[in-house]
Amino acid sequence: MDRIIIKGDIVFTPTKDEFQVYKDSYLVSEEGKIIGIFDELEQRYQDYPINDYSGKIIIPGFVDLHLHAPQYANMGLGMDKELLPWLNTYTFPEEAKYSDTNYAMEVYSELVKDLWRNGTTSAVIFSSIHKGSTELLMDLFVRSKIRVYVGKVNMDRNSSKELTEDTYQSLKDTEDIILRYKDNSSLVKTIITPRFVPTCTDELMDGLGQLALKYDVPVQSHLCENVSEVEWVKELHPNLPNYSSVYNKYNLFGQTKTIMAHSIYVTDEELELMSENQVFAAHCVNSNFNLSSGIMPVRKFLNKGIPVGLGSDISGGHSLSIPRAIVSAIQGSKMIWLDSDMELQPLTCSEAFYLGTKGGGSFFGKVGSFEEGYEMDCLIVDDSNISNISRFTLEERIEKFLYLGDDRNILERYIQGKIVAEPK
C-alpha cells in the first residue's frame, strides 16, 4: 500500500474563517489521500515511511481556476491596452500560432515547468482551438503528474479568420478529445470551453451543452469581465435578460459543474442564478487590474454561498503565482470595501488563502485541504529567509510567506501523496 507521513509545521484552511495550524506534527496519507494529522505518531503508523521537514511549513498545493495556456509567451505584454483591443492586437495573433504543434511543444513545456515552479498543483486551463496542441498539452500534464482540467477552446464567430472554427468541426474535435481522455488519467481531464458568448453561435453553444450533459463533462467560460463586453452580449442576445442566461439557456451554467471567470459586472439576478446553480467564480484580480476591467466584489459572492477560487488568468494576468493572486485579491477587496462605504468587508488573509487552496480545489472534489479523505497535494515551504522562525507564530509565518515569498521558498510539491519532479 502507498503510504507516506510528512512532518513539519502544518497550515491549512478547512473553513475560510481562520488558519488551522499544527506545529511540528505528522500528516499521514495512504493511497494519495489524507488519513489525518497527529502531534505524536500512533503505534499503527510506526512502520510508515516519514519525510521529515521539521521547521518547514506544509500547506495544501495552490489551485489556479483560470488561465490561458497559449498566452503564456505573452505574459507582461501589451498591458497598456483594455480587453477588446488587447485581444485583437496581442492575444488572437499569438493563439493562431498553436496550429503548429512544434510551437506548442516549445511554449507549453515551459508553461508546465512554470506552474510546477510556482507550486500550482491543480489548474483549470484554456487551450486554443487546436485539437493537436490541446492534446499535446494534456499529454504533457499526464507525464508531469499535475492535476488539471484542459479545454479546447470553441469559437465560430466574431474572431479573426485563423481562429474562426467551422461549427460542426469544433463540436467533433471537442467530442474526440472528451472520448480520448475519458479514462486516461486520474489527474488530467477534459473541460468544455466556449471562449465566451460573443465568439460562439447559438448552434455551437447548444452542441457544447449537449456534450456536457452526455458525457457529464464540466464547463468553463468567461462572464461579465468588462462593460463593453457586457453591452456586446446584450446586443447579440437582446431577448435574454442577461449574460448568464445565455449560457444557462444552453446548459452551460451549472448543469454540469461550471467555472465562470471574472464575473465582475454580474447583476443581482445573475448572482442568484450562480448561487442556485452553484456556478464557480474564478476571481482573476491581476488580470482585472491589468486590463482595466474592474474589481469583482468577492464578498458578495461569499455572502451568497457562491463557490469562489482564484485564477492567474495569464496573460491578462502577468504571473502564475497564486500567492500573488492571494495578495492582490486582498488588496482589491480593500478597495471594494472603501467603495462600498465599508459595507463589503475586505478579505482576510485566511479567506484569501482558502480561495487559493480549498475554494478553487473544491471544483476538483476533495482538493485543497488536509481533512480526512482529501487528496494529498501539498507544498513544503522553507521560509527561513523570510521569517525568524522562533520569533513569529505559524499564522504570521504563513502571512509573511504569502506576501514576501516566491518559488524559491517552495522546496517540494506533492500530488496524490507523491513528490512531483520538475517537468522536463
Distance CA 362, CA 124 (A): 12
Distance CA 254, CA 271 (A): 13
Cβ closer to a second copy: 145 or 318? Answer: 318
Q: CB within 8 A of 394, min separation 6: which ones?
A: 9, 11, 19, 21, 23, 57
Regarding 331 and contact with a second copy (CB under 8 A), the answer is yes
Q: What are phi and psi of 150, to 5 degrees?
A: -125, 135
Grid coordinates given for 338:
472603501
Grid coordinates given for 58:
506544509
Cβ closer to a second copy: 77 or 411? Answer: 77
Cβ closer to a second copy: 278 or 340? Answer: 340
Which amino acid, 192? Answer: I
Regarding 21 and contact with a second copy (CB under 8 A), the answer is no
CB of 374 to a second copy, least distance (A): 26
HEC profile of 252-306: CCCCCCEEEEECCCCCHHHHHHHHHCCCEEEECHHHHHHCCCCCCCHHHHHHCCC
Within residues 58-77, the interface with a second copy by CB under 8 A covers 73, 75-77
What is the contact mask toward a second copy in residues 300 to 319, using x (rule: CB under 8 A)? Answer: ------------------xx
Regarding 242 and contact with a second copy (CB under 8 A), the answer is no
With CB under 8 A as the contact rule, the residue among 52, 179, 213, 338 that binds a second copy is 338
Regarding 337 and contact with a second copy (CB under 8 A), the answer is yes
Regarding 165 and contact with a second copy (CB under 8 A), the answer is no
Distance CA 34, CA 40 (A): 16
Span from 21-29, 129-137, 231-239, 333-341 in contact with a second copy (CB under 8 A): 333-341
Distance CA 398, CA 58 (A): 10
Cβ closer to a second copy: 236 or 404? Answer: 404
With CB under 8 A as the contact rule, the residue among 272, 294, 371, 418 that binds a second copy is 294
What's the distance, CA 220 to chain centroid? 11
Cβ closer to a second copy: 33 or 97? Answer: 97
Distance CA 357, CA 240 (A): 35
3-class SS at 151?
A: strand
Distance CA 276, CA 306 (A): 8
CB of 108 to a second copy, least distance (A): 15
Cβ closer to a second copy: 25 or 286? Answer: 286
Within residues 366-395, the interface with a second copy by CB under 8 A covers 386, 388, 392
Q: What are phi and psi of 30, to 5 degrees?
A: -135, 140
Span from 52-60, 148-156, 166-174, 331-339 in contact with a second copy (CB under 8 A): 331-339
Within residues 113-132, the interface with a second copy by CB under 8 A covers none
Regarding 330 and contact with a second copy (CB under 8 A), the answer is yes
Cβ closer to a second copy: 15 or 278? Answer: 15
Cβ closer to a second copy: 123 or 330? Answer: 330
> How many residues contact a second copy, by CB under 8 A?
38
Distance CA 8, CA 317 (A): 33
Cβ closer to a second copy: 68 or 147? Answer: 68
Within residues 392-421, the interface with a second copy by CB under 8 A covers 392, 396, 399-404, 406
With CB under 8 A as the contact rule, the residue among 149, 247, 289, 354 that binds a second copy is 289
Regarding 231 and contact with a second copy (CB under 8 A), the answer is no
With CB under 8 A as the contact rule, the residue among 91, 290, 312, 409 that binds a second copy is 290
Q: CB within 8 A of 315, min separation 6: which ones?
A: 68, 71, 72, 74, 75, 76, 77, 90, 91
By the 10 Å C-beta count (0-12 exposed, 13-18 middle, 19+ buried), 403 is classed as middle
Q: CA angle 327-321-297, nearest 5°? A: 40
Regarding 103 and contact with a second copy (CB under 8 A), the answer is no
3-class SS at 236?
A: helix
Interface with a second copy (CB under 8 A): 73, 75-80, 286, 289-290, 292, 294-295, 318-319, 327, 330-332, 334-335, 337-339, 346, 348-349, 386, 388, 392, 396, 399-404, 406
